[in-house]
């Protein structure tokens, strides 16, 4: 059975190309189902029938699982049985499972004043980690990236010459996002000065970049062409990491986790005096709302956010009731 689970993992990553967060959630859900079937019915997942899956979902409901959680678990189960039906010729016992009705809640976002307040708080810490946290906060808001997209950025995705970031989104779908000049300047300073400090390479980076720069200049001359973004290779060589926001744990360098930035964000947010908590995704919602208020068209907003369907973006037209009322009063001929 573990072999089947491992093959399903590979299927999610290579064929379905789900996001890392979806992958992790689906695997938790399937393993939870496996444990339930073995514990409650003494069955392997291959032996399960439709009524066993319904029992599992009923058990979750009795444990006060939300409709959103139930919906995701049903989605995971359906994807799993679609896979086993297609590749292992199992009976698809999940085909008739019904998704619960979800309440349509409007996304929560910060006002422009609140954004300014948290930016102000972030700018008060001039330490290396403080500057890194400030840049991550700025970047998440101005780009509208998903948190998973930002924490997994590598230096080569920043196009310093053209002012864009190449983002790898859900399902491996790529998009480019323009970045304001002042943010690029911050990123330039960060990669040259702060990143080496975070990686403990301050004693070696100047010489490494100097040598790398001479080599790049020589190669450019020999090839009679300009190589763009040569600074990226210098930084990567000096810091020995490709991650834009790396952390070191147990001697290994990796990208920062979503949960780690969530904690950073709420510590900064608490400094504004607010008692409520916020999520990184609210910065994405905030950008979308603020851009819409300032006249961006839905199609452009869709491209920036990386949504596949235009309908997904239309929810932002319902967010700021006071703004909509103001537009209505100004534009309606009989208002």
SS (H, E, C) 174-221: EEEEECCHHHHHHHHHHHHHHHHHHCCCHHHHHHHHHHHHHHHHHHHH
What percentage of the chain reaches a pLDDT higher than 70? 79
pLDDT at 218: 46
CATH 3.90.1150.10 at 2-88, yes or no = no
CB contact set of 307 (below 8 Å; sequence gap of 6+): 313
Instruction: Output phi, psi for 255, to 5 deg.
Output: -75, 155
Fold of 112-270: hpI Integrase; Chain A (1.10.443)
Where does the chain hold its CATH 1.10.150.130 domain(s)? 2-88
Cβ neighbours for 6, distance < 8 A, ≥ 6 positions apart = none
What residue ranges in 53-178 does DSSP mark as E strands?
158-159, 164-168, 174-178
Q: Minimal CA–CA distance to 305: which of 135, 141, 152, 157?
A: 141
Look at 231 and 73; give whichever has higher pLDDT. 73
Is residue 150 a contact partner of residue 287, using CB atoms and an 8 Å limit?
Answer: no
pTM: 0.67
pLDDT band at 251, cuts 50/70/90?
A: confident
CA distance 183 to 139: 7
Strands (E), the chain: 158-159, 164-168, 174-178, 246-249, 252-255
Q: Where in the chain is the domain with CATH 1.10.443.10?
A: 112-270
Q: Dump pLDDT digits (tens) for 37-90.
A: 999 999 999 999 999 999 999 999 999 999 999 999 999 999 999 999 999 999
């Amino acid at each position: 059975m573990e072999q089947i689970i491992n093959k399903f993992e590979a299927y999610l990553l290579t064929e379905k190309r789900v996001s890392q967060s979806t992958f992790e959630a689906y695997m938790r859900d399937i393993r939870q189902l496996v444990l339930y079937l073995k514990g409650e019915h003494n069955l392997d997942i291959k032996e399960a029938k439709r009524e066993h899956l319904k029992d599992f979902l009923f058990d979750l409901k009795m444990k006060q699982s939300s409709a959103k959680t139930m919906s995701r678990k049903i989605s995971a189960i359906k994807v799993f049985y679609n896979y086993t039906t297609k590749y292992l010729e199992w009976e698809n016992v999940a085909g008739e499972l019904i998704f619960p009705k979800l309440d349509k809640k409007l996304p929560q976002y910060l006002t422009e004043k609140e954004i300014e307040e948290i930016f102000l708080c972030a700018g008060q810490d001039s330490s290396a980690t403080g500057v890194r946290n400030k840049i991550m906060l700025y970047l998440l808001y101005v780009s509208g990236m998903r948190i998973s997209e930002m924490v997994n950025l590598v230096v080569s995705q920043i196009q310093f010459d053209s002012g864009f970031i190449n983002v790898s989104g859900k399902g491996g779908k790529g998009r480019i996002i323009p970045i304001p000049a002042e943010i690029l300047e911050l990123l330039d300073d960060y990669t040259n000065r702060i990143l080496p400090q975070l990686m403990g390479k301050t004693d070696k980076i100047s010489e490494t970049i100097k040598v790398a720069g001479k080599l790049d200049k020589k190669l450019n001359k020999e090839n009679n062409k300009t190589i763009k973004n040569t600074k990226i290779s210098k930084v990567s060589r000096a810091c020995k990491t490709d991650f834009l926001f790396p952390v070191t744990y147990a001697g290994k360098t990796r990208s920062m986790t979503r949960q780690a930035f969530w904690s950073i964000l709420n510590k900064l947010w608490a400094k504004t005096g607010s008692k409520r908590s916020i999520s990184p995704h609210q910065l994405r919602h905030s950008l979308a709302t603020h851009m819409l208020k300032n006249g961006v068209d839905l199609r452009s907003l869709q491209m920036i956010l990386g949504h596949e369907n235009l309908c997904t973006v239309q929810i932002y037209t319902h967010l700021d009731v006071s703004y909509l009322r103001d537009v209505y009063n100004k534009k309606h001929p009989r208002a």
